[in-house]
Amino acid sequence: MTLPPLTADPHLRAVRPVTPSADGCEECLQLGSPWVHLRLCLSCGHVGCCDSSPNRHARRHAFAVDHPIVQSFQPGEDWRWCYVDEAYV
């Protein structure tokens, strides 16, 4: 799969150097809830669960605090997603 150039998404301005906030989904860890896969917010380092997870915390975080770009936090995966544009960046 060919991904678009990184300059193609204006939301990439929100990307900052971050440190992951947890080793699992922050909210799911507090709730004792399971998750499927993890996403790392590239604006603040929040770790949340993916859209296949019951609670979709990464998406909720993105829209609650206007942090549009996440990166997969799964070992061996190297991709970014923009929730606003619903596209890989």
Quick one: pLDDT at residue 66?
Answer: 97
Quick one: pLDDT at residue 8?
Answer: 66
Q: List, as one string, the DSSP characters of 32-75.
A: T---S-EEEETTT--EEE-TTSSS-HHHHHHHHHT--EEEE-ST
Give residue 3's identity as a one-letter amino acid code: L
The CATH code belonging to domain 6-88 is: 3.30.40.10
CA distances from 48 to 10, 28, 71 (A): 23, 8, 11
pLDDT means over runs of 10, the chain (89 residues)? 58 93 97 97 98 98 98 96 95
Smallest Cα–Cα separation from 64: which of 89, 86, 41? 41
pTM, two decimals, is 0.89
Residue 18 phi, psi dihedral angles, 5° rounding: -130, 160
